[in-house]
Amino acid sequence: MNKHLNIGLLIAGAALLSGCQFEKSGATGWNYNDSKNGGFEKAPFVEQENGPGLILVEGGQFTMGRVTDDLTHDWDNIPRTVTVSSFYMDEVEVTNFYWLEYLYWLDRVYGADFPEVYKKALPDTLVWRSKLAFTEPYTEYYLRHPAYRDYPVVGVNWLQANDYCAWRTDRVNEVILIREGLFEHYPNQINEDHFTTDSYLAGQYESGKKVDGVQDFNPNKDTRNIKMEDGVLLPRYRLPTEAEWEYASYGLVGNTVDERIVERRIYPWNGHWVRYDSRKKGGAFYGDFRGNFMRGRGDYMGVAGSLNDNADVTAPVFSYWPNDYGLYNMAGNVSEWVMDVYRPLTGEDENDFRPFRGNVFKTKVLNSDGGIKDKYDKVIYDIDGIKYWLEEFQKRMEGKFTDEEGKLVEDLMTKINQAQEFASTRKPDPAQQNVQDMVDMIKGQDLEICPKLLSGISDYQSDQPGEVQMRKVTVEENIDRRNYQESDNIDFKDGDLESSVYYLQGDEPENGGMYANSGEVAFQDYLTLISDHARVYKGASWADRIYWANPGTRRYLDERQSTATIGFRCAMVRVGSPVGLGDDKRRSKLKK
């Protein structure tokens, strides 16, 4: 972190300076930070703080999509000009060691009472297994052995990556408040009594406070919590959108003269070749590969004594030269998850400004007084997802159950059906209690299938203790809104009834229509492998040919699946000016 503000002193400093003169409103002439006239505050702010691990990617327009031959003939990536706003992106992929830090925190906070939260976050180390290769050492050592601590984490699905981003947001904002003298390190956080940014802003987290808050100029109050208006807390860490990732990967800032891109890039570097071609500084890297990818059939690392990429599978995250934004391994090492839901014709439908498909709009749950409802004090489950999983489990295990196991699964099916009925009639508490009863039923029996059942149900957690309650927006509350009305806009223009061949029938068929819209639709009933749960991943991995290193290529995978070749890195929105203090150079020229 590069700005060590003491927000309490700065806000109070505005009042000290006011001993001479208050800053006045340009609209009303009233004083800011003056308790005598009500105390409306103007906090000092320079620009957004740089979060740990992040690099500013200055935005702009570029040609998104296919700019080379479409070797796979998917025709799912038409070229189009789009604009991406400035944003922040991780310098490197999230590593095994970063993930172990995350697991340790989850086990410390939730391990005693909610072990399923920790279990859900475990990467699938079995993704390394192959039927006809000896890859078992990676299964056993890759995640936890210190030799691999600086290697990118793999076996992480899209949902787990999003959970990590949310956790990272809270830990970074918590340490900012500690740095500013408002909180102390509080290692005794447990279950719902732990810091989250949303619960703090909602006034639902008080543990670990060092002081009551910062000075409040409201004459009826002494102190207050930090607010969004103070500009101290950082925006959310998240996955980058497909457009952001592709734009950042090209790094076109490095070959732009005025407003001209002097050389269109195929890869994140200039030229059509994949080896270093510069003989500068004695040519120490001349001929070395620029990334970690598969050079040819059966060649993953080169010849002994002169390994072409110095890595058999993944490589440490700071390997190879970064691109012109300073981002490492944007071509090779691991492919990376992005936020978008996959559609073949996304390029025809999405906006040309900050394009993205996958919006599901939510809002905070309010109580009868209009305040934010208390945060969750238990694990919340995806009931439809659990029912789908149980039905599939029952089918796969047909004829293999013992009598006791068969009865347990039947009882679980009865419970989940009841939970689904409660949920459909807007009775969330009885619905979630039914799922908790199911967990207790499984734990109360010593059967061979019990660990499998617990693991399967654990994967369908939607919310954790300590999180502020959220819900999807409804059409009824958006009656007069023009820009959107429904919460789920994943299918908009591609998959909804209006865009489907079933439009004239007035209703979609039970098998899910154009795409599978729900976890309730069994895999064998899909009309396509594409669904609302298919997420885009970008870039080449250690096991890919160089074609996939072109930033415009795109592939997809179900959000609950993972592989040994997919990792991720986080991003963060840039608020305010696209370049911030970088504009000083231009201003100084104007002054001269």
Distance CA(55)–CA(574), nearest Å, equals: 11
Decide if 482 contacts 506 (C-beta within 8 A): no
Distance CA(291)–CA(288), nearest Å, equals: 9
Domain spans in the chain, listed from the N-terminal domain onward:
1-44+185-231, 53-180+233-268+315-358+537-592, 380-463, 499-531
Mean pLDDT, consecutive 10-residue stretches, the chain (592 aa), reads: 48 48 91 91 90 95 88 88 96 98 97 94 97 96 97 98 98 96 94 96 94 92 93 97 97 86 86 78 72 89 84 94 94 96 92 95 93 94 94 92 93 95 92 94 93 93 94 94 93 84 64 58 58 94 94 94 97 91 56 56
Nearest 10 degrees: Cα torsion 489, 495, 500, 506: -50
DSSP symbol at 371: S
Q: Are strands 571-573 and 237-238 parallel, antiparallel or unpaired?
A: antiparallel
Distance CA(552)–CA(567), nearest Å, equals: 18
Decide if 435 contacts 383 (C-beta within 8 A): yes
DSSP track, 38-59: T--------SPPPPTTEEEE--
* Residue-level pLDDT at 228: 92
Region of 190 on the Ramachandran plot (φ > 0 left; ψ -120 to 50 alpha; else beta): beta
Distance CA(155)–CA(176), nearest Å, equals: 31
Show Cβ contacts of residue 510 under 8 Å, excluding neighbours closer than 6 positions: none
Distance CA(277)–CA(287), nearest Å, equals: 6
Backbone angles phi, psi at 553, to 5 degrees: -70, 155
Q: What does the block give as tokens for 360?
A: 């599901």
Distance CA(363)–CA(373), nearest Å, equals: 12
Task: Look at the domain 53-180+233-268+315-358+537-592 and name its fold.
Answer: paralog of FGE (formylglycine-generating enzyme) (3.90.1580)
Distance CA(22)–CA(34), nearest Å, equals: 7
* Residue-level pLDDT at 60: 93
State the DSSP H helix or E strand holding residue 302, giving kind and residue range, or none if neither.
strand 302-303
Backbone angles phi, psi at 425, to 5 degrees: -105, 20
CA-CA distances (angstroms) from residue 586 to 41, 324, 581, 589?
31, 21, 10, 5
> Residue 287's CB: how many other CB atoms inside 10 A?
11
* Residue-level pLDDT at 7: 56
The residue type of 215 is Q
CA-CA distances (angstroms) from residue 395 to 226, 313, 402, 406, 538?
53, 36, 15, 12, 34
Distance CA(326)–CA(94), nearest Å, equals: 16
* Residue-level pLDDT at 331: 93
